[in-house]
Amino acid sequence: MSLLNIYNETISGPWDTAGLDVQYRIKDGVMTFQQTVSKSDWLFNFQFWATPYKDMPRKWYAHRGFVAIYKSVRDVLRPQYETITEVRGYSQGAALAQLAIEDIYFTTKKTPQGFCFGCPKVFLGLPEANKRAFDNTCVINTLGDIVSMVPPWYKNYFSSIIQLPGHKYPSFKDHYPDVYLEGIKQDWGD
């Protein structure tokens, strides 16, 4: 399947809703999370770092808001982890996709294929063993997408990063879905 088709499927419904207003879809082994669309989504986007699990042998951190909404649907998603081969998301959906990929790996030791468009930074100090969860994850960001730049001192751990055209300076406009669509068409054809 082309990157353009994957992106179009990632940003389109229909969606199931569970937990703290989380929209997701599981179909044919593909788990997809919807981007920020509601006021409650925005409230979770602007939170800070926390430890994601209790009694961690080695502490690392994740974005508190994304962890909260992911944990609100985790019990619904977890029974299907064995059948998941791919995880996708755009914007907040990409953050939830990262958490799902790490959780699937932690639970099953499988590394599903991942596609994270307009990808926020979710983890801080992730141990090497956990980074293996992202061996099959591709991050797709536009050059000036400010959402993908915060925090700026963050170290990347993804296996593949695709940089689409955009501004050379940080811009909220470079995070818009249409900018991603045009960048994918420009760089990847179809």
Residue by residue, pLDDT tens for the chain (190 residues) are 799 999 999 999 899 999 888 999 999 999 999 986 545 544 455 556 666 666 767 776 777 788 889 999 999 999 999 999 999 999 999 999 999 999 999 999 999 999 999 988 888 888 888 889 999 999 999 988 877 877 655 666 777 888 888 888 888 888 889 998 999 998 676 5
Is residue 21 left, alpha or beta, with left meaning phi > 0 and alpha meaning psi from -120 to 50? left
Q: Give the C-alpha separation, 115 to 117, whole Å.
A: 6
DSSP assignment of 99-125: HHHHHHHHHH----EEEEES----EES
Q: What is the pLDDT of residue 77?
A: 97
Q: Which of 110, 95, 6 lies closest to 52 in space, CA to CA?
A: 95
Q: What is the pLDDT of residue 42?
A: 41
DSSP assignment of 18-82: ETTTEEEEEETTEEEE----SHHHHHHHT--EE-SSSS-SS--EEEHHHHHHHHHHHHHHGGGGG
